[in-house]
Amino acid sequence: MLYKKVDERVTKKLKQIVGAANVITDRETLENYSHDETPLYKSMPEVVVKPTSTEQVSEIMRLAYARNIPVTPRGGGTCLSAGAVPIHGGIVLTLEKMTRIKDIDKDNMMAVVETGIITEEFGRELAKNGLFFPPDPVSLDSCTIGGNIAECAGGPRAMKYGVTRNYITGILAVIPDGTILKLGGKLLKNATGYDLINLIIGSEGTLAIVTEATIKVLPSPKIVVDLLVPFKCVEDATNFAVEILQTELMPAAIEFMEGDVVRMVSKYLGRKIPYAEANAHTIVEIDGDDKERVRKTYNRIGDIALKYRAMDVLVGEGVKDREKIWEPRKKIGDTLKELTKNVAREDLVVPKKQIPVLIGKLKKCVKKHGVEVYTFGHLGDGNIHADASVEKTRNISDAEIDKMRREIYEITISLGGAITAEHGVGLSKIPYLAMALDSRQIEIMQGIKKVFDPKKVLNPGKIFPEP
């Protein structure tokens, strides 16, 4: 596909639509929009625009569509599959100025927001009203609701509460030709025709730009307790999680960090983490409204932990203790970025019981390539992140990385898994899509893309291979 360049006339038009202050062309600022959090992927946009309304987004799309200019939507830029990288240049359309909470409707337990709002800020406002939006990607403090919708983000609490798609009941979406679609509303049920909302959720910004979302919210749990449970081996940690999930106890999260990761984070934070010598740390979060019931639940979880030879069960009830338990888990990304050279950040999912097998096989596989793999993630739903890293000074060829990634995916698929659980295909997994989906499935998906975007102007070069 041949795209047109953003020339002076287009820039002038964009300034008329959003105002000169919201059109960025200086190289230094453009650089900030040339990458997201995916290692190794980078491409400069020609211009960045910051619309402040759905109507402006529509006008920008109308202009870009008529002139064949690629547009890459962007939220917080925390994507881990290079979905926000403007691979064909063109316009980066950032939603960062569309951050209003338009409605918090306690009667219907719904909220309406502009999608540029940071997920954590939305949560804070809800909390003031005794409400709660469960999806909690670990990037909470910098990702946006729009990005969460585009990626169908999950997070630690997904095992109990589900992912973003389980909470979105309506959207305002601008499709590539500029048409504004108003889909759904404050409705918990809706069987009117095909479910376009759920088609757009998880479509990685390739079908529509979501500018506003109607979101189902829940009452905030009154009590939250976290347990830190270290184990001597990954098998014990996995069996512990599997047994908890066979009971009615249902914690909000069961997270996992392998021992090497814990020790690395301890070094990065410069603080002693209890039982850093363990080979697997789990964090179990329990929430509820009744103090006694929560206590009974964590006591029973503690008993299950001991059955699987847990080295200890540390309980965090106050906010400070809970933050201390979570800090290492939340700092893994920063740690690996600082102390190693990340060459791939994988987001694998397998049936839970297969986790120890997956981790064992991954370790063996990457070793052949002289690479280390650091595993952590959402044990409760079988979603393991595997960051492949080398020493900062080492050079590794693209061909070697590609070979290793192919082997990682072969292992995952052979265990009944999928190559991405919550980070999406984006740009970084395109070469491997055909390993995960058959050709007919890919053809149907490409057909859907064609209906929304026959000129391929919206987030082009993502999900599907290009000729």
Residues forming contacts to ligand FAD in the complex (CB under 6 A) are 36-37, 72-80, 83-84, 95, 115, 137-139, 143-144, 146-148, 150-151, 153-155, 204-205, 209-210, 333, 422-423, 459
53 dihedral zone (left: phi>0; alpha: psi -120 to 50; beta): beta
Contact between 169 and 188 (Cβ < 8 Å): yes
Nearer to ligand FAD (CB atom), residue 95 or residue 225: 95
Q: Residue 13: which H helix or E strand, with range?
A: helix 8-18
Least Cβ distance, residue 335 to ligand FAD (angstroms)? 10
Cα dist from 33 to 92, 301, 331, 332, 422, whole Å: 7, 45, 23, 23, 22
Nearer to ligand FAD (CB atom), residue 64 or residue 305: 64
Nearer to ligand FAD (CB atom), residue 34 or residue 78: 78
Least Cβ distance, residue 361 to ligand FAD (angstroms)? 23
What is the distance, to the nearest Å, from the Cα of residue 233 to the centroid of all Cα atoms in its chain? 28
The four Cα atoms 306, 385, 273, 139 give a dihedral, to 10 degrees, of: -120
Least Cβ distance, residue 368 to ligand FAD (angstroms)? 28
The arrangement of strands across the sheet holding 23-24 comes to 23-24, 47-49, 91-94, 71-74
Least Cβ distance, residue 85 to ligand FAD (angstroms)? 9
Between CA 33 and CA 139 the distance in angstroms is: 18
Least Cβ distance, residue 201 to ligand FAD (angstroms)? 10
Q: If DSSP codes are grouped into helix, strand and coil, which group holds residue 390?
A: strand
Least Cβ distance, residue 309 to ligand FAD (angstroms)? 28
Q: Residue 384: which H helix or E strand, with range?
A: strand 383-390
Least Cβ distance, residue 358 to ligand FAD (angstroms)? 18
Nearer to ligand FAD (CB atom), residue 151 or residue 236: 151
Residue 374, beta-bridge partner list: 387
Backbone angles phi, psi at 193, to 5 degrees: 75, -170
Least Cβ distance, residue 337 to ligand FAD (angstroms)? 9
Nearer to ligand FAD (CB atom), residue 63 or residue 294: 63
Nearer to ligand FAD (CB atom), residue 74 or residue 449: 74
Least Cβ distance, residue 287 to ligand FAD (angstroms)? 17
Nearer to ligand FAD (CB atom), residue 73 or residue 134: 73
Query: Between β-strands 341-349 and 383-390, what pairing exists: parallel, antiparallel or unpaired?
Result: antiparallel
Q: If DSSP codes are grouped into helix, strand and coil, which group holds residue 65?
A: helix
Nearer to ligand FAD (CB atom), residue 339 or residue 365: 339
Q: If DSSP codes are grouped into helix, strand and coil, which group holds residue 464?
A: coil
The two three-digit tokens of residue 96, written as one number: 């960062």
CB-side neighbour CA atoms (13 Å) of 344: 31
The two three-digit tokens of residue 47, written as one number: 């211009």
Between CA 328 and CA 324 the distance in angstroms is: 8
Nearer to ligand FAD (CB atom), residue 58 or residue 297: 58
Nearer to ligand FAD (CB atom), residue 115 or residue 412: 115
Q: What is the 3-state secondary structure (H, E, C) of 328-356?
A: HHHCHHHHHHHHCEEEEEEEEECCHHHHH
Between CA 69 and CA 66 the distance in angstroms is: 8
Maximum distance among all Cα pairs of the chain, rounded to whole angstroms: 70
Least Cβ distance, residue 328 to ligand FAD (angstroms)? 13
Nearer to ligand FAD (CB atom), residue 120 or residue 235: 120
Least Cβ distance, residue 72 to ligand FAD (angstroms)? 6
Least Cβ distance, residue 458 to ligand FAD (angstroms)? 9
Residue nearest to ligand FAD (CB): 147
Helix%, strand%, coil% for the chain, nearest 5: 40, 20, 40
Exposed / middle / buried, residue 72 (Cβ in 10 Å: 0-12, 13-18, 19+): buried
Nearer to ligand FAD (CB atom), residue 57 or residue 404: 57
Residue 258, beta-bridge partner list: 280
Q: Residue 300: which H helix or E strand, with range?
A: helix 291-307
